[in-house]
Amino acid sequence: MILVKEVQARVAAKFDVSLEDLVGPRRHSHLIAARHVAMSLCAELCPHQSGVRIARLFGGRDHTTFLSAKKRLPDKLARYPELAAAYAELKADLSE
């Protein structure tokens, strides 16, 4: 069973951001992309966690932030191949 904290740590390392920035309030584009990837991976790989719980583990965010991340990520993956590659690599690594 994958834990949200493990997903957060791996995404932070892959995107070269600190864990504090990943879950913190800053809204720089590279942090938002990393957050969206992490939240979406949590949704897929941590089915034992609710969206409300996942959002709270990302700095106390509201569940609508979680829903927005899941909704917007597919478009970002289609527009940015390097983001899609990072997402696929993280998903494969975490699924092992």
Which pTM was predicted?
A: 0.95
List the chain pLDDT tens, one digit each, 96 residues: 899 999 999 999 999 999 999 999 999 999 999 999 999 999 999 999 999 999 999 999 999 999 999 999 999 999 999 999 999 999 999 998
| DSSP H helical ranges for 1-96 | 4-14, 19-23, 29-45, 51-57, 63-79, 81-95
Helix 29-45 with 81-95: angle, nearest 10 deg: 40
Give the CATH number of the domain where residue 15 resides: 1.10.1750.10
Q: Which domain holds residue 20?
A: 4-95
Number of structural domains (the chain) is: 1
